[in-house]
Amino acid sequence: MKDVDGAVPGNGHALVELFARLREANGNPSLTVIASRIPSRGKKNAARSYLSEIFRGRKFPSGDRAEAIALALLASDRDVDQARFLAESARERSGPDTAGGGEPTGAGRYEREVQGFLDFYTAVFVGRDRELTEILAATAHSDGRYVIVEAPAGYGKSALAAQLIVRHRARGWPGRQPNLIYYLVRQDGERNTAEAFYSAVNSQLQDLLREAMTVNQDARQRFRELWSRAAAEARSGRPLILLVDGLDEVAPSGTAIVDLLPTDTGRHVSVIVTSRPSPDVTSRVPLDHPLRRGIRLSLGDFDEPEIAMLLRHFGSQHVSEREVRRILKVTRGQPLFARFVTEDVAAGNAYVLAAMADHPPAGVSEYFSWQISQLTSAADRTITWDALALLVATRGPISRPDLAGALGWSADRAARALRPIERFLIGRNQVELMHREMRRAIASHLPADSCPE
């Protein structure tokens, strides 16, 4: 069964597109205005939050609620009927929108999986507007191309990738809104394998192409089929972009993600990848692979203006040139390093600069090690170290209740253990260490008897 526009049942993407079109045709009213037009006995803030989830494709309303939203957007009878149909078929595939409903599937499941990363990497974003503009300009070109964002660890590659994803979700992409498919490669949790890549990317392509899930088909072949179809449908008004962050995070064995990248980048099709400069990821692909002809963009150090912006972001009321220069001298403008030092200084912990003045860490890795050594002197053999040991051993996300259960703790004890290290964690309910350099620093300081059984 299909609706009049050919949308297949189970396609939540089509519902999001429909609501976006109706909202634009209605003058882009705010969510507050839309919520006020929908009869509800709930709180307006809750209604607005609920609408935000629906417009971002993270929840699927019931048929009745979809109809009410369409009416609030002054839709025609035909569009109201279509909204009801798409909502009901989407819920058949992905489950209800209530908090106690089923887990999301496919693209929705991957979106939830990476939300912690996106929250962390978009919480602070300064000093990269020029690079962001260059990436957007490169992908706006009609000829297909690769864009390679290169930088050492801690220089903002993932922050740039997160900005692109979040802006796309919020429909804040300048110019024409592309179809964006993305994957964040990570060593932890085995998210650097071909299986994980294909699972996430194929589910997004299936949503984009309005196709049902398939079983018992070779994932690589499925990716090639879906990508070819999506690339063939790309056009100037709706280009196709594949974004892969962390291409250098190679699995110990098996196929590397770089080996899976598409070779066909036709008109209005772009691929953005991020990687450390060494080893050169282009050396892994054949000589005729378009990755070798990609546009390279290197991320540099921060300077005084970016340090000042960081201090203001973290709440400094009075930013002095002397303080900015001291931070720049200690951090040498290395972005992630500067982020944490400015956060310390803005919080009134100026002793950090004094403590590192004589022997400044060589980079973010040594800074993490220094931070851990401070924790060691203050909390040796305490519950925080037990939590750190478990996080290192887990090598992936773990829920706070599961962490407490694994250590035989109450929820309150687990919260007290994590409190001193919250800023180094990604995620709210599911938590993990925010950077592999942080993991290495912790592992080097762990007492031999601190690892949980």
* Structural contact between residues 104 and 117, judged by C-beta atoms closer than 8 angstroms: no
Could you name the CATH architecture of 361-453? Answer: Orthogonal Bundle (1.10)
Is 3's pLDDT higher than 80?
Answer: no
pTM over 0.75: no
Span 139-176, pLDDT tens digits: 888 888 999 999 988 899 999 999 999 988 887 787 77
Beta-carbon contacts of 217 under 8 Å, excluding residues fewer than 6 positions away, are none
Domain boundaries, the chain: 12-94, 107-298, 302-307+314-356, 361-453
pLDDT band at 54 (very low <50, low <70, confident <90, very high): confident
Contact 12, 94 (CB under 8 A): yes
pLDDT of residue 80 exceeding 90, the answer is no
Question: Which has the closest alpha carbon to 192: 445, 441, 443, 436?
Answer: 436
Asked whether residue 137 carries a pLDDT value surpassing 80, the answer given is: yes
Q: Write the CB contacts of 34 (distance below 8 Å, at least 6 apart in sequence).
A: 23, 51, 69, 72, 73
**Which residues are paired to 182 by β-bridges?**
243
Fold of 107-298: Rossmann fold (3.40.50)
pLDDT at 405: 92
Q: What is the dihedral of CA 382, 399, 168, 291, to 10 degrees?
A: 80
- Residue 217: predicted pLDDT: 76
**Confidence (pLDDT) at 260:** 94
Among 167, 182, 57, CA closest to 122: 167
Contact 327, 309 (CB under 8 A): no
What are the residues facing 243 on neighbouring strands? 182, 272
Enumerate the β-bridge partners of residue 147.
272, 295
pLDDT value at 384 more than 80: yes
Contact 70, 79 (CB under 8 A): yes
In the prediction, which pLDDT does 266 show?
Answer: 84
Give the phi and the psi of residue 241 in degrees, each rounded to 5. Answer: -130, 130
- β-pairing, 179-184 vs 240-245, is parallel
Whole-Å CA distances, 273 to 149, 388, 409, 410, 426: 6, 31, 41, 42, 22
Q: Which residue has the higher pLDDT, 131 or 84?
A: 131
Res. 90: pLDDT tops 70: no
Which pLDDT score, from 0 to 100, does residue 38 have?
Answer: 85
Residue-wise pLDDT for 113-123, tens only, equals 888 888 888 88
pLDDT of residue 9: 35
For 244-303, what is each residue's pLDDT tens digit? 999 988 766 667 899 999 998 888 999 999 999 988 999 989 999 999 999 999 999 999
pLDDT cut 70: percent of the chain above it: 85
Least confident of 30-39, 92-101, 411-420, 429-438: 92-101
Residue with tokens 């860490």: 361
Question: Rounded distance, CA 216 to CA 221, Å?
Answer: 11
| Residue 323: predicted pLDDT | 92
Of 18, 4, 6, 7, nearest in space to 83 by CA: 18
The C-alpha atoms of residue 216 and residue 202 are separated, in whole angstroms, by 14
Supply the pLDDT for residue 295. 94
Is residue 184 helix, strand or coil? strand
